[in-house]
């Protein structure tokens, strides 16, 4: 019984050793120069990452991330479904159309609420950053 798990144990040991080697090699081979202002500036999140973690920031960043995840998940469900379409029954076709209908209703709701008005969003984002 234990010999069945021996290969898994070897794999775990090898992955831990490889991870440690990569971590230490990247630390010793990296350039430890002083960072410039571009590296210390705010990236995509829109706030300075070296301040207190409990500061307030705009909820629209979460909105963009959630919208991306919702529609990204839709595509991730559509690809496998489309590949196996000929083996599915009529019920699977109906279920996917219900799924797409609900996502379309959510998309229309977001559109009506103005969540997809990118010009306004980026205008407000730029005004907040500068």
Does residue 14 belong to any structural domain of this protein? Answer: no
Does residue 18 belong to any structural domain of this protein? Answer: no
Does residue 98 belong to any structural domain of this protein? Answer: yes
Does residue 92 belong to any structural domain of this protein? Answer: yes
Does residue 121 belong to any structural domain of this protein? Answer: yes
Task: Give the pLDDT of residue 61.
Answer: 72
Does residue 51 belong to any structural domain of this protein? Answer: no
Does residue 7 belong to any structural domain of this protein? Answer: no
**Mind listing the pLDDT tens digit for each residue in 102-116?**
888 888 887 787 777
Parent domain of 76: 58-129
Q: Residue 48: pLDDT above 70?
A: no
Does residue 74 belong to any structural domain of this protein? Answer: yes
Helix axes 90-113, 60-83, angle to 10 degrees: 160
Residues 6+ apart with CB under 8 A from 20: none
Q: How many domains does the chain have?
A: 1
Residues 6+ apart with CB under 8 A from 40: 50
Please provide residue 51's backbone torsions phi and psi, each rounded to the nearest 5 degrees.
Answer: -105, -170
What is residue 101's three-state secondary structure? helix
| Summary mean pLDDT of the chain | 77
């Amino acid at each position: 019984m234990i010999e069945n798990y021996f290969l898994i144990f070897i794999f775990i040991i090898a992955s831990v050793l490889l991870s440690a080697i990569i971590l230490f090699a990247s630390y010793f081979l990296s350039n430890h120069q002083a960072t410039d202002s571009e590296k210390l500036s705010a990236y995509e999140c829109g706030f300075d990452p070296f301040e207190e973690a409990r500061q307030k920031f705009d909820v629209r960043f979460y909105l963009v991330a959630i919208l991306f995840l919702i529609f990204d998940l839709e595509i991730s469900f559509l690809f496998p479904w489309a590949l196996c379409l000929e083996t599915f029954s009529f019920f699977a076709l109906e279920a996917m159309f219900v799924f797409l209908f609900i996502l379309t209703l959510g998309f229309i709701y977001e559109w009506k609420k103005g969540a997809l008005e990118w010009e306004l969003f980026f205008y407000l984002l730029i005004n907040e950053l500068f």
